[in-house]
Structure 1
Amino acid sequence: MPDTIKILLAEDEPSLALIVKESLETRDFEVIVCADGEEVLQKYNEEKPELLVLDVMMPKTDGFAVAEQVRKTDKRTPIIFLTAKSQTKDVVEGFQHGGNDYLKKPFSMEELIVRIHALLNRVVGGSEEIKKDDDIAIGSYVFNPTKQTLTYKDESEVLTHRETEVLKHLYQNKNEMVTRSFILNDIWGNDDFFSGRSLDVFISKLRKKLSADPAVQIINSRGFGYKLIC
């Protein structure tokens, strides 16, 4: 990963594009702004950015179509959608078209920056691969996703499927923030209120199950996501 991260920003509203560009540049990102989908594809091929921030509703070619084109040859570069659409089906459609995350307008710059860093950290570090039947050390615990077990010393307990999937996502990105929207859409298939409350319950259960080792913590950034410290 280069010292200066190059971000391709697709936003056809000039005032918003300028605000986002200037805010990201104060964090030492290099930002390339495009006003329509065709320009995005051209600049993407020329500049090879490390991350794309795509407005869904763009002239000529919309953000979903742009993401589909990018994903034909590039499965790795993170894509964040910006959208005024708030229906669950619209959000799910974004993930189906190759997006990694999304932000509903209006959004705060701090939230966008947190999500950018979370996605870039996954690319830089790479999600830790979990092989079948692996016993994984999480502090003093042993986690086996295949058997859905969590063992502390000689005591083992069986996790539910959802507990296993949430802990697996956190472990694969340990010591890095994982956004709520990524976990919810990947496991639940949506990020509506009820799914979000369900995730909060599973996080609380996992915290209790991991509480015997003070070196292991699940911390949260309110409204953004969770981080497994181990």
Structure 2
Amino acid sequence: MANNRILLVEDDQNFGDVLRSYLEMHDYDVTLAKDGVEGLESYKKGHYDLCIFDVMMPKKDGFTLAREIREKDREMPIVFLTAKTMKDDVLEGFRIGADDYISKPFNSEELLFRIHAILKRSQTKAELKDEVKEFSIGKYHFNFPLRILTFAESGEEEKHKLSPKEASLLKMFAQNVNDILPRSEALSKIWGEDNYFTARSMDVFVTKLRKYLRRDDNIEIVNIHGNGFQLLVKSDQEA
């Protein structure tokens, strides 16, 4: 089993090197970036299981970096490191969606325990989410293992056999109904990379899914400019 990958963004080079070495001694695969700008570039290029951000950094602070990553991935565990103990900073961190907040100086073993707990919680959440194999989407029923999308109304039934990528994309939409599905999250999980060509490919697959779902007027896949897509499913009362 591969080691958990951690993105560590810390502007104090000495402290960052020491912390990276300590985490690597405990079997974590660590990428170290020296500021928020470099941290965002590292995030875009790699796949990580957890992020650790210093708050006060040049070019881009940890809070700003976390907000930008949250736009792309709502599930990524994020831990803030800071020398400040101001209550407002702690609250701001949790408002952004921090999983934990540790003030310097801290006990190294405590950090390890917290990282382990966060990763275990994140993995359990992902496993529970992935256990669901069948979905109701408006007037449609979607069987993911069989890749069959069925429309049923008043005794009428219409079935579509989806391709593997169509099924994987529809599953992600179904898991996030009425929420924004970040384009980068879908591309990295289904296509394995996020670039111009895979993005254009995803647009084609979204168009296909819109066609499959067109018989239910309460269903719409909308483009959220600069972010991703949203599968909107209205109830009969809302329609």
State the TM-score bracket (shorter-chain normalisation): 0.5 to 0.7
Contact 2:134 2:142 (C-alpha < 8 Å) held by counterparts: yes
Higher relative contact order (CA 8 A, sep 6+): 1
Judged with a 3 Å threshold, the aligned counterparts in structure 2 of structure 1 residues 184 and 137 are, in CA distance, closer, same or farther, namely same
Count of matched residue pairs: 162
* 1:223 maps to 2:180: no
Q: Distance in 2 between matches of 1:120 and 1:229?
A: 18
What is the SS of the residue equivalent to 1:175? coil
Contact 2:180 2:230 (C-alpha < 8 Å) held by counterparts: yes
In structure 2, the residue matched to 1:187 is 190
* 1:212 maps to 2:204: no
2:17 aligned residue (60, 67, 70): 60
Structure 1 residue runs without a partner (length 5+): 1-8, 13-34, 39-58, 73-80
In structure 2, the residue matched to 1:178 is 181
Judged with a 3 Å threshold, the aligned counterparts in structure 2 of structure 1 residues 135 and 71 are, in CA distance, closer, same or farther, namely farther
What is the SS of the residue equivalent to 1:195? helix
Contact 2:222 2:229 (C-alpha < 8 Å) held by counterparts: yes
RMSD (CA atoms):
4.3
Query: How many Å apart are 1:171 and its aligned residue?
Result: 1.1
Query: How many Å apart are 1:220 and its aligned residue?
Result: 1.8
Contact 1:114 1:224 (C-alpha < 8 Å) held by counterparts: no
In structure 1, the residue matched to 2:70 is 116
Alignment of 1:17-36 (within 5 A): 35=12
In structure 2, the residue matched to 1:203 is 206
What letter matches 1:161 in structure 2? P
Structure 2 residue runs without a partner (length 5+): 1-7, 29-35, 52-58, 78-96, 98-124, 234-239
Contact 2:73 2:185 (C-alpha < 8 Å) held by counterparts: no
What letter matches 2:174 in structure 1? Y
- Identity over aligned residues, as a percent? 28
In structure 1, the residue matched to 2:49 is 98
The one-character-per-residue Cα deviations of 1:134-162 (angstroms, maximum 9, x if unpaired) are: 43110001111111011112110101110
Contact 1:136 1:144 (C-alpha < 8 Å) held by counterparts: yes
Contact 1:135 1:142 (C-alpha < 8 Å) held by counterparts: yes
What is the SS of the residue equivalent to 1:228? strand
Q: Distance in 2 between matches of 1:114 and 1:85?
A: 8
* 1:139 maps to 2:138: yes
What is the SS of the residue equivalent to 2:129? coil
Q: Distance in 1 between matches of 2:9 and 2:230?
A: 29
What is the SS of the residue equivalent to 2:17? coil
What is the SS of the residue equivalent to 1:229? strand
What letter matches 1:219 in structure 2? V
Task: Provide TM-score, normalisation by structure 2.
Answer: 0.52
Judged with a 3 Å threshold, the aligned counterparts in structure 2 of structure 1 residues 191 and 119 are, in CA distance, closer, same or farther, namely closer
Judged with a 3 Å threshold, the aligned counterparts in structure 2 of structure 1 residues 197 and 60 are, in CA distance, closer, same or farther, namely same
Larger Rg, first or second structure (1 or 2): 2
Q: Distance in 2 between matches of 1:221 and 1:119?
A: 15
2:165 aligned residue (162, 165, 168): 162
Judged with a 3 Å threshold, the aligned counterparts in structure 2 of structure 1 residues 218 and 82 are, in CA distance, closer, same or farther, namely farther
Contact 1:150 1:159 (C-alpha < 8 Å) held by counterparts: yes
Q: Distance in 1 between matches of 2:179 and 2:212?
A: 20
Q: Distance in 2 between matches of 1:98 and 1:147?
A: 29
